[in-house]
Every structure is written in structure tokens, then in C-alpha cells.
């Protein structure tokens, strides 16, 4: 299994990262994608990936932090992405739920990352919350005006319209422990309409632990429970889901060689 979204560089894992990774490997996780949420965290995230042959990383600025990196250039992202372990741009996008960064700051940040994804040929890891329409508008406009690029709508909790517009752009969708939550009926309803050849798995650890661990610190070792939730949704066995999702992830993150 490939956990395509892990946040390993924060306080949550600073005391026992080795044990966390060991438990994950014992659970069948063979690849991890460590996410960069701030450009000034990039070297830390990259160093974690560099220390482990089964970990790769991204480079980017989460929309929450867009206000702190208004001077960040596309060229800086592109230069960082030349590292052999850096296989995606992001996470980036739009989040209007908390409003930690202004709307214009988030949009500018998003567009710089899109330009970097297009220049490098690496996929774009997109975070979107309460911003479905504008996210789709920007992705469509950028594709129409400057050409296509790889898109991952990560930890997807958006609506049917964004899903349809994303699929029309060739986007992939990742599902997390949210899929197992009792009250996530709408998320399951939308994900059930996304073709399985466009779906990959993630934990988004240390957040969003799946049932039966909800409320605890999430770990990559819990990815099988995300797979189980997706398997239940489609009436399939876990092995079928994990095999399909791993193939999809390797197709999306093409810089990783099987």
C-alpha cells in the first residue's frame, strides 16, 4: 500500500517517528509521500524522505500559510522540485473555512504552484475546503489558457460538481479516514461516483484517524482501514482496492519508479 499523504515533520511524531514507520511497514505500507505545508519546512521534509528509501516528498505552501509566503516564486518551487525525492508540487489550494490567509493571497499562491506543476511536469496536490467553485474555475482556466497538468484533489470532501469538473480535467482523488466516519454520508455518496481508476489512498496523518481509531493520533499504519472503507463502498475485497489504488498512485506520481 502507498500512503500518499503523510505529515511526518511536525510535533506529533517528533518523539517516535521510527516506531510509527515500523508499525506502518508491518501493516503493509511500502511507500509514503511526506507533505510539505510551508516552504521553510521543505528541507526538514526532504531530509526525512532522504533518510528512507520508501519515502518521497512534495514541495509547497498550504493555503493556510499563503500569507507568509507572498514573495515565494514559481522558480523557487521549480528549483526545489529538481531534487530526486521531490515528486509533487503542494499541497496548495484554497481553504475559506478558517480564513487564515486572505482570499487573494491564497489564489496567488495557488496559481504559482500550478505554474510550477506545469513547468516540472509533476502533479499538483490540491487542498480545497469551502471553495469548490473557485477551485474548479481556476483549474479549468489554467488548463485552458496554458495547458494541462496533473491534479490530485486530496482528502476529497467536495461536492458532485467539483468532482465532475475535476474528472473532466483528468484529476485523481484521494480518500482518507473520513470515508469511514458515520456522519460522512455525503462524502461516500460523491466518492462512489468517482471511477476507481482515479482514486488513491491516504491517511493525512496525524489527522483524521479512521474508525475504529477516530479521535486518536492518526498513523500510516491505519491506512488499511481507509482501504476497507473504500472496499465496503464498492463491494470489493481490500486486496482489490489496495492493488488498484497503488497502481493509480504510481501512475500519478510518475517520478517514483516501481
Quote the pLDDT of residue 257: 81
**How far lies 123's CA from each of 101, 115, 228, 247, in Å?**
24, 11, 26, 15
**Separation CA 206–CA 217 (nearest Å):** 5
Q: What is the pLDDT of residues 128-164, one digit of tens each?
A: 999 999 999 999 999 999 999 999 999 999 999 999 9
Burial class of 1 by CB neighbour count within 10 A (0 to 12, 13 to 18, 19+): buried
Say whether domain 2-252 belongs to CATH 1.10.1060.10. Answer: no
149: cell is 497538468
**Separation CA 227–CA 82 (nearest Å):** 32
SS3 12: helix
Quote the pLDDT of residue 144: 97
**Separation CA 149–CA 132 (nearest Å):** 19
**Separation CA 64–CA 82 (nearest Å):** 25
Nearest residue to 198 (alpha-carbon basis) of 172, 179, 175, 216: 172
Quote the pLDDT of residue 198: 98
Residues with Cβ within 8 Å of 100's Cβ and at least 6 positions away in sequence, in order, are: 63, 64, 65, 67
Q: What is the pTM of this model?
A: 0.97
Q: What is the pLDDT of residues 89-126, one digit of tens each?
A: 999 999 999 989 999 999 999 999 999 999 999 999 99
**Separation CA 117–CA 96 (nearest Å):** 23
Q: Looking at residue 190, what DSSP letter applies? A: H
Q: Where are the domains of the chain?
A: 2-252
**How far lies 252's CA from each of 106, 117, 150, 200, in Å?**
25, 13, 7, 9
Q: What is the dihedral of CA 219, 5, 96, 177, to 10 degrees?
A: -50
Quote the pLDDT of residue 151: 98
Residues in the chain, pLDDT under 50:
none
Nearest residue to 198 (alpha-carbon basis) of 164, 167, 242, 243: 167
**Separation CA 63–CA 126 (nearest Å):** 10
SS3 18: helix
**How far lies 52's CA from each of 55, 57, 103, in Å?**
6, 11, 37
**Separation CA 224–CA 150 (nearest Å):** 26
| Share in percent of the chain as helix, strand, coil (round to 5) | 50, 15, 35
Taking the CA atoms of 162, 163, 166 and 168 in sequence, report the sign of the dihedral they define. Answer: negative
Amino acid at each position: 500500500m502507498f500512503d500518499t499523504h503523510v505529515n511526518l515533520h511536525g510535533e506529533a511524531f517528533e518523539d517516535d517517528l521510527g516506531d510509527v514507520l515500523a508499525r506502518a511497514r508491518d501493516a503493509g505500507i511500502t511507500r509514503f509521500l511526506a507533505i510539505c505545508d510551508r516552504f521553510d519546512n521543505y528541507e526538514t521534509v526532504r531530509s526525512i524522505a532522504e533518510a528512507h528509501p520508501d519515502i518521497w516528498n512534495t514541495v509547497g505552501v498550504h493555503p493556510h500559510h499563503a500569507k507568509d509566503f507572498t514573495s515565494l516564486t514559481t522558480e523557487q518551487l521549480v528549483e526545489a522540485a529538481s531534487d530526486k525525492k521531490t515528486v509533487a508540487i503542494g499541497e496548495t489550494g484554497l481553504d475559506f473555512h478558517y480564513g487564515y490567509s486572505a482570499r487573494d493571497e491564497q489564489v496567488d499562491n495557488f496559481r504559482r504552484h500550478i505554474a510550477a506543476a506545469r513547468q516540472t511536469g509533476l502533479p499538483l496536490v490540491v487542498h480545497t475546503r469551502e471553495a469548490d467553485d473557485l477551485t474548479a474555475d481556476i483549474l479549468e482556466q489554467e488548463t485552458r489558457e496554458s495547458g494541462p497538468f496533473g491534479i490530485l484533489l486530496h482528502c476529497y470532501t467536495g461536492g458532485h460538481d467539483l468532482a465532475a469538473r475535476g474528472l473532466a480535467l483528468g484529476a485523481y482523488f484521494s480518500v482518507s479516514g473520513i470515508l469511514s466516519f458515520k456522519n460522512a454520508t455525503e462524502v461516500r455518496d460523491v466518492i462512489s461516483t468517482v471511477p476507481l481508476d482515479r482514486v488513491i489512498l491516504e491517511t493525512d496523518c496525524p489527522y483524521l484517524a479512521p474508525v475504529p481509531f477516530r479521535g486518536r493520533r492518526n498513523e500510516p499504519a491505519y491506512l488499511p482501514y481507509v482501504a476497507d472503507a473504500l472496499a465496503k463502498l464498492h463491494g470489493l475485497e481490500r486486496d482489490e482496492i489496495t492493488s488498484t489504488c497503488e497502481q493509480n498512485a504510481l501512475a500519478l506520481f510518475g517520478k517514483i519508479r516501481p
